[in-house]
Amino acid sequence: MERPRRLRLRPSMRRLVREISLEPRHLVWPLFVHRGADPEPIASMPGQLRHSLDSLMTAAAEAVHLQLGGIMVFGVLPQEEKNATGSGAYAEDGLVQEAIRRIKAEHPDLLVMADTCLCEYTDHGHCGIVHEGTVDNDATLELLAKTAVSQARAGADVIAPSAMMDGQVAAIRAALDDAGFAGTPVLSYAVKYASAFYGPFRDAADSAPAFGDRSSYQMDPAGGYWDALREAEIDDREGADMLMVKPALPYLDVLPLLKQRFHKPLAAYHVSGEYAMVKAAALNGWIDERRVVLESLVALRRAGAQFVLTYFAPDAARWLLEG
Ligand SMILES: [Zn+2]
């Protein structure tokens, strides 16, 4: 009789045949920074903070200590600093630029990713310039390219465009090359769905659109695989170095699809809503947080993610290092 249980009977046997690895280097921690002198808790994301520049440095040191794959920095601007063109995104002395400069000065070996979008900086909360009620794709490209160059100049190791504008990877690649950053890789949010799971992030970054939603540029969750493959193919052709799927667990089927097709590292963004649900259940004592988190991250690795952006990164790394 076939007895699969033979390989499960002893811990040493299970360890030998275990195929999927999960290590701190596979985890990237998204961090929020604001202008305030003190960090602020984010109500819908227990354990996460809107960092001050100083507390962000503490988080960066923790990321180094825990041997994380890297961090990604998001800026949270006060309403009065936002405007129609999101100029805070590409200001040379912008919040994220300053944060990255400080982190890289202190931790040159920590991999720092910059999210490249306008929605945290526009007063209407959309990811690009708005003309007559819709986001103007081509006018937005130039601003995304400027944002990417300013982030690279500040020291960002990876540029991660998330605006879902057509042609954004090509525009950013060309601008980076022109500005002398041919060696800076682009991690494209290639397959990004218009998802309700982003809710807590919008509280955290105060970036909910003032009118309408993002369905005219982010993908339809009920769209076919043709849509996911088309978006990934375009970004692959435009020169993305790495491709991302966002959100993570609800789109677990999309990762293996891309894994087979593209010979580039894949990332999954385990988003704020996925974090909040686990936290809420754990705080109620309904689930074992540690086991649920590690099982979720292993599932993403098994589906094909080389690395995962997750708010659980420091906790998960600590659990993994404890063994
Ligand atoms: Zn955006």
pLDDT digits (tens, 9 = 90+) for 175-234: 999 999 999 999 999 999 999 999 999 888 888 888 889 999 999 999 999 999 999 999
Q: Amino acid identity of 12?
A: S
Instruction: State in Å: Cα 162 to ligand 1 middle.
Output: 6
Say which of 146, 246, 264, 279 is annotated catalytic: 246
List the structure tokens of 213: 């939603």
Distance between CA 294 and CA 227 in Å, rounded?
A: 30
Gap from CA of 218 to ligand 1 centroid (Å): 10
- Tell me if 311 is assigned to a ligand binding site: yes
Residue 265's identity, in one-letter code, is: P
Is residue 202 part of an annotated ligand binding site? Answer: yes
* pLDDT mean over 164-183: 98
**Do residues 123 and 91 lie in contact, with contact meaning Cβ atoms separated by under 8 Å?**
no
- pLDDT for res 247: 98
* Percent share of the chain, pLDDT over 70: 100
**150 Cα–ligand 1 center, Å:** 17
pLDDT in tens, 115-153: 999 999 999 999 999 998 899 999 999 999 999 999 999
- Residue 295 annotated as lining a ligand binding site: no
Residue 100's pLDDT band (boundaries 50, 70, 90)? very high
The pLDDT of residue 235: 98
Nearest residue to 252 via CA among 308, 315, 316: 308
Please report, for residues 4, 129, 143, 152, 165, the alpha-carbon distance to residue 82 in angstroms, rounded to integers and kept in the order given.
59, 13, 15, 22, 20
Strands 49-51 and 40-41 turn out to be: antiparallel
| 82, 192, 264, 279: the active-site residue | 192
**Structure tokens given for 307:** 């690395």
| Residue 92, annotated as binding a ligand | no
Q: Is residue 192 annotated as part of the catalytic site, yes or no?
A: yes
Q: Render 164-186 in DSSP notation, one character per residue.
A: --TTHHHHHHHHHHHTT-TT--B
* Ligand 1 centroid to residue 120 C-alpha, Å: 7
Distance 91 CA to ligand 1 centre (A): 17
Q: What is the pTM of this model?
A: 0.97
Whose tokens are 């299970």? That residue is 14
Q: Tell me if 101 is assigned to a ligand binding site.
A: no
Categorize the per-residue pLDDT at 109 as very low, low, confident or very high, splitting at 50, 70 and 90. Answer: very high
Domains and CATH numbers, the chain: 20-322 (3.20.20.70)
Give the pLDDT confidence score for residue 205 in this predicted structure: 83
The reported pLDDT for the residue numbered 208 is 84
What is the rounded CA–CA span in Å between residue 33 and residue 35? 7
Is 290 annotated as belonging to a binding site?
Answer: no
pLDDT at 279 over 90: yes
What is the reported pLDDT for 316? 98
Between the CA atoms of 194, 197, 117 and 312, what dihedral angle is there, to the nearest 10 degrees? Answer: -150
153-185 CB burial, b ≥16 within 10 A, e <16: bbbbbbbbbbbbbeebbbbbbebbeebebeebb
Query: Dihedral (C-alpha) 41, 43, 47, 50: value to the nearest 10 degrees?
Result: -40
Q: Rg of the chain over CA atoms, in angstroms?
A: 20
Give me the percent of the chain exceeding a pLDDT of 90: 95
Give residue 127 CA to ligand 1 midpoint distance, Å.
Answer: 4
Q: What does the buried/exposed string (b/e) look like for 260-289 if buried means 16 or more CB atoms within 10 Å of the residue's CB?
A: eebebbbbbbbbbbbbbebbeebeeeeeeb
First to last CA, the chain: 35
pLDDT tens-digit series, residues 68-94? 999 999 999 999 999 999 999 999 999
